[in-house]
Amino acid sequence: MDSYKGLGMITEVFSEENRDSLHGNIGLGHVRYSAAEKESRQDVQPLVINYIKGTLILANNGNLTNGRELKEELARTGAIFQTEADSEVVAYHIARERLNTRNAEEAVRNAMTKIHGAYSMVIASPRKMIGARDPFGFRPLCIGKRDNTYIFASETCALDAVGAEFVRDVLPGEIVTVTKEGMSSDTTLCGNQIRKCIFEYIYFARPDSYIDGISVYNSRIMAGKILAQMHPAKADIVVGVPDSGNAAAMGYAEETGIPYGTAFVKNGYVGRTFIKPKQSARESSVKIKLNVMKEVIKDKRVIMVDDSIVRGTTSEHIVRMLKSAGAKEVHVRISSPPFLYPCYFGTDVPSCDQLITYNNTIEQICKLIDADSLGFLDGERLHEMIGGDTGYCDACFSGNYPVEPPKEE
Amino acid sequence: MDSYKGLGMITEVFSEENRDSLHGNIGLGHVRYSAAEKESRQDVQPLVINYIKGTLILANNGNLTNGRELKEELARTGAIFQTEADSEVVAYHIARERLNTRNAEEAVRNAMTKIHGAYSMVIASPRKMIGARDPFGFRPLCIGKRDNTYIFASETCALDAVGAEFVRDVLPGEIVTVTKEGMSSDTTLCGNQIRKCIFEYIYFARPDSYIDGISVYNSRIMAGKILAQMHPAKADIVVGVPDSGNAAAMGYAEETGIPYGTAFVKNGYVGRTFIKPKQSARESSVKIKLNVMKEVIKDKRVIMVDDSIVRGTTSEHIVRMLKSAGAKEVHVRISSPPFLYPCYFGTDVPSCDQLITYNNTIEQICKLIDADSLGFLDGERLHEMIGGDTGYCDACFSGNYPVEPPKEE
Amino acid sequence: MDSYKGLGMITEVFSEENRDSLHGNIGLGHVRYSAAEKESRQDVQPLVINYIKGTLILANNGNLTNGRELKEELARTGAIFQTEADSEVVAYHIARERLNTRNAEEAVRNAMTKIHGAYSMVIASPRKMIGARDPFGFRPLCIGKRDNTYIFASETCALDAVGAEFVRDVLPGEIVTVTKEGMSSDTTLCGNQIRKCIFEYIYFARPDSYIDGISVYNSRIMAGKILAQMHPAKADIVVGVPDSGNAAAMGYAEETGIPYGTAFVKNGYVGRTFIKPKQSARESSVKIKLNVMKEVIKDKRVIMVDDSIVRGTTSEHIVRMLKSAGAKEVHVRISSPPFLYPCYFGTDVPSCDQLITYNNTIEQICKLIDADSLGFLDGERLHEMIGGDTGYCDACFSGNYPVEPPKEE
Amino acid sequence: MDSYKGLGMITEVFSEENRDSLHGNIGLGHVRYSAAEKESRQDVQPLVINYIKGTLILANNGNLTNGRELKEELARTGAIFQTEADSEVVAYHIARERLNTRNAEEAVRNAMTKIHGAYSMVIASPRKMIGARDPFGFRPLCIGKRDNTYIFASETCALDAVGAEFVRDVLPGEIVTVTKEGMSSDTTLCGNQIRKCIFEYIYFARPDSYIDGISVYNSRIMAGKILAQMHPAKADIVVGVPDSGNAAAMGYAEETGIPYGTAFVKNGYVGRTFIKPKQSARESSVKIKLNVMKEVIKDKRVIMVDDSIVRGTTSEHIVRMLKSAGAKEVHVRISSPPFLYPCYFGTDVPSCDQLITYNNTIEQICKLIDADSLGFLDGERLHEMIGGDTGYCDACFSGNYPVEPPKEE
């Protein structure tokens, strides 16, 4: 099996030559923005390993809650680790289970009873591809098809991009196996306790994606409407902070009848900075590299909708930009509840002491970011944005963890 | 004088090291998307030359109409050329005029009487910086200031990006000189026949820029309104083709009362392809790499606003995407008149035989792109988008050339 | 622990920036020309692993004879492998032994009782550095010192390069541990059966190195003298094929009294090709990129000394070059016996069917390479080149393997 | 005409892709080590220009003595310069002369009457290739042929490298034109005053080259013999400082009967540093990255032959290395006279105040470099190294300039 990996944007890592060196009828790619501050090439997914039955390739989205314990346990039997990635821990478990199972999917199933937390993973061997999702279904995973080729992807927009048809979502706890003979499913581990990450809808996913049957775009429109009901304001225009605040702003505008407007222009060529590992770099580069269209804002009372507030520095910066551009008032509305608790399932939220919402009252935050008023989506009505579905995880807002959080080091 | 140039995106060409190697208190940079199919490193601007008085650095935006004649004339006196750029022809003329003038700005003025066509250029010598704009004012050029530093830029959004204040536009025909002592102006060549490129407002410029006192955003809103008045349609939603079609779509929505919506999601990481030299590559990469949000479009009659139609392939592609996403009808509205004539002033329009508008009637185009109706902004009302100002060039639509077009080779 | 690795020459892989990112008071580097045809970045040494006791870094020179068996054995306990390198197998054994030992050097010693074959390895942990050599001593390993810093290296010329003093060789079977407190030694595994690779003296090592107390240069001079005694020829000049044939040519000249000359000029800038993985590329690039000095050769009977013949194509090429340059006769002398058997201890000899010496008689080879006569160093007198020492391995010439060769796959 | 240029080693600049992008039946390449401290990509040869008659490509080896005057003269007519290279001045003259001549070779001839100093240049147009050498013949230029292709090269070793036959040298003052019809010659400017650079034989050229019919190798052997006659010493071994000192050392050894030996091993992978622009970097990298073979030197009286002494730091370093390696005495012999005067014809000799030979007596130098004795080749017998030919330039040793040196700035 051939592999090629690197740090950076896809267009930086993959030259035509590298791309052409990859052959075969099963392929597995992985891309992510790095949550950790320091990332090494060694940690880049997918992980390619050799084990008793040959070669296995793994890519994972999520975060194990017992990763550290499992790693220590493995180390106590003499295991060696070459990466910091959960995938290596998963690979070890599959390799060990494979000794006593008839096939790879059984080994995956057995391994899944040992690993806890959030994971949506795709595993390729020379003759099959396996997609598996943790029983809570924290992270999305869907199946597409183009001609005779099955495709696993986190988001449906990836299927659109390659011209594939959406088939269905992988169920929480399901193991889907694709071979030359077609697709089969093992639902042994599927249970009733579903905990889809609500923040996928709020921020991570692209609005043109559907996750577990729900349109991300619609969920944001709905969040904006609820927000408008709970935190109305007298204003002349509603604007969204690009890109993830736009749909909620539209919902807010629709609900209130206040016109929706586009206030910001993004500098199109800073894209590469998005994938930089440091939170601070990401904030300043992605959101702050905006320019305000004065014509849209001048002499107006503005409702500015964003998806979340983390440290508050970005919000403060944008409010000030709007006021410099002539806004008479800036009312900030956030289409999610305040961050108050750490996420152990893969969302990159800084520690509590860095969260402006953890350390301040709404009034204090409002002053700190220089807004004329501030309103958050109430946690009580959060489920309405996904049509009343209550099978979601909102632990970062509520502290209501579906599984025991990992012990602190 | 130090210089560093390269082909590619700024972030590809300039490493931290290269950037740090550039010192001094006068700086001149240039970036453009390449109109020519084949571009060599030699042709990258700014041009750095040595001449009788030392070093001169030139960057130019535009296109000389008598560039070929001047080059032949120079060659007949034994001149040698190392680039294909107009800047080299300009540099030669400045160098020759400099032999009989007291200073560089006089040489620039004399050279400007010989070069014809569109140019907005900035020229730096070790002790001064000169900004000059052709007497028709085809291409924009503005002046900004930050602390004690003067800045020349094509668009005002560049001033915003570096935190500079807008001072004023350079007048058509004006030569502005900046030295340690401050700014001075020579308006000897300023005349009455102004011909600002209207296509800057329609397509090139960023909506947050102001050109010659007119907001690009407002001009597009206005174009959308006029378009709505001339080519109304019964529909449920108005959507713009990103990014340059969005403001016109908003204007259209505002005028008609039909709701404005965001139908497209752009893949954020294809930015680098924008600067690729081949028209075909640019079309397919930039516009086609869109995805439709089905939720916005499904079962709706859609008005799709774009800034222009060139070959028609992109429009056809997007109309089909909308219909696949469930649009019941797609009415295409173009916020500019049909392209019918070549531009000799720097706009990269393909030759007539490649223009769908040159070879087909409106009805034929409508069929070719699979639209339910098609309407272009009428040339007669074009000036209304810039507030009634009639000092603009619309030759690519009207064939009304302000100067004699260059003889065909 | 920080690490940085790459494929290519050191000067290609290590920029100033990469180099400066490596900090600390223990460092471990590795460079080699790749024996395998396909090398991936994953396989580049040193190997950096985490295990029960923290971090361990390994670099190895040699080849395990039971590597495949050990790997299969490990796989049968659920181990996973991310490289093709022996070092990973060694690391696993150290990690497992470390569970039941008091320190790393004990774990290394226990692991050494399980791994067979040729290895000279250096292992670094955050607080110590361990150098270990297999009990046969196939591959060299020496100790140097500069100020208070101990250095392990394969060859003494590396010590010269950094201005370090040679301390002594690591003994076959010895484990040398360096900590802040100084150097200590464990000779438990040292035995009497020494099998130093004779080909290190003949070809691999630099002539300015000393291996186990013997000057590489002197050993080659001696090989040339023995060769002259066994295969004299009437000639006007003795020339060596650069670089490894030069010293033997000098010895031949000295013994016979025939003048030594320099016949070849190397193209100095093909160095990077040396590290290319394919044998064929190496042959053609390194040896064939020579030019003959006609003045030295013209009208002369030439004795051309080389260290070995593999496929014979290079020798044929060089003989023809000499004859084209005017040599009247070319007598080829090889300062080692014919290759007849595979090496399992790290020397990159092609398989028997590609060896000209395996498939042909001396007379046939002589004709094939167009030489006027051909003589090899006799295996019986091989030990004389290293001063009569009989503790060496010459299995590639004699088939006399000191350990059972690995079973064929 | 396609061109590709860059800074660095050929293998760094030319990827397979770049190489394959160059098509046609006339090709012109240029490589040199940079004499100037700061080199820009703009200055890399060959120069590609457009002029009245189309495209012209120039590559030059040498240095014009009136380059600065010609440049000023051109600037006074309004010329602009984009490089620091003499080639641009030459190109201008050819372009101007071409206005009044029937063909390019006539223009080259007329230009040659205006440009003074050292130049061996090759000029390509789409249909012909012209090789021209200044009337003094300072720099070498030869003609080769392979099948139906003619090749111009500075040194004959380049012809060997591509398997071409040597045809003849271009005569001093000759203009050789190659077209599809074959080769023709214009000897109008050939005169009697020949001044071949003697330092080409001493240092620059590869020993396997022939310049103007004389073997570089033989010339160095001869220099060594003369040196031995003039500065004998009692010693046990003669060694050369690689690479340019080796042949002279052989000549010294041959003349005296003292055995020749190889004392130094070069680190083969520092090649790229050779082309670095700074003299200091070149000295330390190229010559100092040597290791001494102690076995060769230990307890011996050594004669160390080098081609020249510039600042003396390298010599001092090497003498010390030899003594550290156990040499009892080190007698330094230099196969050229002391540098005393600047070269205006392309040899990169530092200014006088940096020359150890300019500022010290032989005795002082001998002490400074820690040698036991020191001898230079006497200028009076210099011509003997090239067989008595007196048509050479030795101005850097004698101050005997064949043309007026350029005025100091």
- D76·B99 Cβ contact <8 A: yes
Does an H or E element contain B177, and which? strand B175-179
Which residue do the tokens 């016949």 mark?
A: C263
Which of D80, D86, D123 has the highest number of chain B CBs within 10 A, making it the mutation to test binding with B? D80
Each residue's pLDDT tens digit, A46-87: 999 999 999 999 999 999 999 999 999 999 999 999 998 999
Each residue's pLDDT tens digit, D350-365: 788 889 999 899 999 9
Each residue's pLDDT tens digit, B189-204: 999 999 999 999 999 9
Q: Quick check: D27 contacting C, CB < 8 Å? A: no
Distance from CA of D407 to the nearest CA of C (A): 38
Q: Report the C-alpha gap between B274 and B287 in whole angstroms.
A: 10
The tally of CA atoms less than 13 A away on the side-chain side of residue B254 is: 18
Q: What share of chain B is helix, strand, coil (3-state, %, to 5)?
A: 35, 20, 45
Q: Give D44's pLDDT tier (boundaries 50, 70, 90).
A: confident
* 3-state SS, residue A178: strand
* Type of residue at A47: L
Q: Quick check: B305 contacting A, CB < 8 Å? A: no
User: What part of B 51-90 touches D (C-beta under 8 Å)?
Assistant: 51-52, 56, 75-82, 88
Which of A80, A90, A123 has the highest number of chain C CBs within 10 A, making it the mutation to test binding with C? A80
b/e A228-265 (16+ beta carbons within 10 angstroms → b) = beebbbebbbbbbbbbbbbbbbbbbbbbbebbbbbbbb
Q: Give D38's pLDDT tier (boundaries 50, 70, 90).
A: low
Q: Quick check: B247 contacting A, CB < 8 Å? A: yes
Residues with Cβ within 8 Å of C217's Cβ and at least 6 positions away in sequence, in order, are C207, C208, C247, D293, D295, D296
Q: Quick check: C295 contacting D, CB < 8 Å? A: yes
Each residue's pLDDT tens digit, B395-404: 999 999 998 8
Instruction: Report ipTM for this prediction.
Output: 0.88
Q: Give B276's pLDDT tier (boundaries 50, 70, 90).
A: very low
Each residue's pLDDT tens digit, D156-192: 999 988 889 999 999 999 999 999 999 999 999 999 9
Instruction: Find the mean pLDDT for residues B317-340.
Output: 96
Cβ atoms within 10 Å of D84's Cβ, excluding its own? 16
All residues of chain A having their beta carbon less than 8 Å from the beta carbon of residue C81 are 49-51
Residue of B41, B88, B95 lying closest to D79 (CB–CB):
B95
Residue D258 in tokens: 């003292």
- Inter-residue contact A89 to A80 (CB < 8 Å): no
Which of C38, C80, C87 has the highest number of chain A CBs within 10 A, making it the mutation to test binding with A? C80
Does an H or E element contain D75, and which? helix D67-75
Chains in contact with B, counting 3 or more C-beta pairs less than 8 Å apart as contact: A, D
- A267·B161 Cβ contact <8 A: yes
Q: How far is CA B184 from CA B90, B129, B179, in A?
A: 22, 11, 8
Q: Report the C-alpha gap between A165 and A142 in whole angstroms.
A: 11
All residues of chain D having their beta carbon less than 8 Å from the beta carbon of residue C271 are 268-269, 271
Residue of A10, A11, A293 lying closest to B217 (CB–CB):
A293
Instruction: Determine the pLDDT at residue B244.
Output: 87
Residue D372 in tokens: 């036991």
Q: Quick check: B41 contacting D, CB < 8 Å? A: yes
Check residue B265 and give left, alpha or beta (phi > 0: left; psi -120 to 50: alpha): beta
Instruction: Find the mean pLDDT for residues D237-262.
Output: 95
- D293·C217 Cβ contact <8 A: yes
Distance from CA of B27 to the nearest CA of D (A): 18
Q: Which chain B residue is nearest to residue D73, measuring alpha carbons?
A: B52
What does the radius of gyration of chain A's CA atoms come to, in whole angstroms? 22
DSSP secondary structure of D21-67: T--SS----------SSS--GGGPSSEEEEETTEEEEEEEEEEESSH
Instruction: Determine the pLDDT at residue B20.
Output: 73
Q: Give B268's pLDDT tier (boundaries 50, 70, 90).
A: low
- Inter-residue contact B89 to B67 (CB < 8 Å): yes
Domains detected in chain A: 10-194 (3.60.20.10), 199-206+216-398 (3.40.50.2020)
Beta bridge mates, D369? none
Cβ atoms within 10 Å of D252's Cβ, excluding its own? 32
Chains in contact with A, counting 3 or more C-beta pairs less than 8 Å apart as contact: B, C
Q: Give B313's pLDDT tier (boundaries 50, 70, 90).
A: confident
Residue of D11, D247, D250 lying closest to C272 (CB–CB):
D11
Instruction: Determine the pLDDT at residue C9.
Output: 72
Selected residue with higher pLDDT from D313 and B18: D313
- Inter-residue contact C134 to C66 (CB < 8 Å): no
Total H helices, total E strands in chain A: 15, 20
Distance from CA of C1 to the nearest CA of D (A): 28
Each residue's pLDDT tens digit, B95-154: 999 999 999 999 999 999 999 999 999 999 999 999 999 999 999 999 999 999 999 999
Residues with Cβ within 8 Å of B130's Cβ and at least 6 positions away in sequence, in order, are B104, B105, B108, B122, B123, B124, B175, B176, B177, B178
Which of B82, B114, B125 has the highest number of chain D CBs within 10 A, making it the mutation to test binding with D? B82
Chains in contact with D, counting 3 or more C-beta pairs less than 8 Å apart as contact: B, C
Distance from CA of A265 to the nearest CA of B (A): 7
Instruction: Find the mean pLDDT for residues B340-347.
Output: 91
Q: Report the C-alpha gap between D284 and D268 in whole angstroms.
A: 15
Q: How many CB pairs under 8 A join A and C?
A: 71
- B208·A161 Cβ contact <8 A: no
- B50·D98 Cβ contact <8 A: no
Which of C32, C201, C208 has the highest number of chain D CBs within 10 A, making it the mutation to test binding with D? C208
* Type of residue at C402: P
User: What pLDDT tens digit does each residue of chain A (409 aa) get?
Assistant: 888 888 777 777 777 667 777 888 999 999 876 554 455 677 789 999 999 999 999 999 999 999 999 999 999 999 999 998 999 999 999 999 999 999 999 999 999 999 999 999 999 999 999 999 999 999 999 999 999 999 999 999 999 888 899 999 999 999 999 999 999 999 999 999 999 999 999 999 999 999 999 999 999 999 999 999 999 999 999 999 988 899 999 999 999 999 999 999 987 655 433 334 444 444 445 444 789 999 999 999 999 999 999 889 889 989 999 999 999 999 999 999 999 999 999 887 778 888 999 989 999 999 999 999 999 999 999 999 999 999 999 999 999 999 888 876 5
- C80·A99 Cβ contact <8 A: no
Distance from CA of C407 to the nearest CA of D (A): 38
CA B144 from centroid of its chain's CA atoms = 19
Q: How far is CA B88 from CA A73, C326, D74, in A?
A: 70, 56, 16
Q: Quick check: C23 contacting A, CB < 8 Å? A: no
Each residue's pLDDT tens digit, B50-61: 999 999 999 999
Q: Give D276's pLDDT tier (boundaries 50, 70, 90).
A: very low
Does an H or E element contain A152, and which? strand A149-153
Q: Which chain D residue is nearest to residue C247, measuring alpha carbons?
A: D262
Residue A361 in tokens: 């009252």
Q: Which chain C residue is nearest to residue A72, measuring alpha carbons?
A: C52
Q: Beta strands of A23-86 (E only): which ranges?
A: 47-51, 54-64
Q: Quick check: B4 contacting D, CB < 8 Å? A: no
Distance from CA of C293 to the nearest CA of D (A): 5
Instruction: Determine the pLDDT at residue C354.
Output: 87
Q: Quick check: C22 contacting A, CB < 8 Å? A: no
All residues of chain A having their beta carbon less than 8 Å from the beta carbon of residue C52 are 75-76, 78
Query: Is 90 exceeded by the pLDDT of residue D23?
Result: no
In the predicted model, residues of chain C with pLDDT beneath 70 are 16-17, 33-40, 268-288, 408-409
Q: Quick check: A92 contacting C, CB < 8 Å? A: yes
Q: Quick check: A47 contacting C, CB < 8 Å? A: yes
Q: Give B5's pLDDT tier (boundaries 50, 70, 90).
A: confident
**Mean of all residue pLDDT scores within chain D:** 90
- D215·C295 Cβ contact <8 A: yes
Chains in contact with C, counting 3 or more C-beta pairs less than 8 Å apart as contact: A, D
- C291·D215 Cβ contact <8 A: no
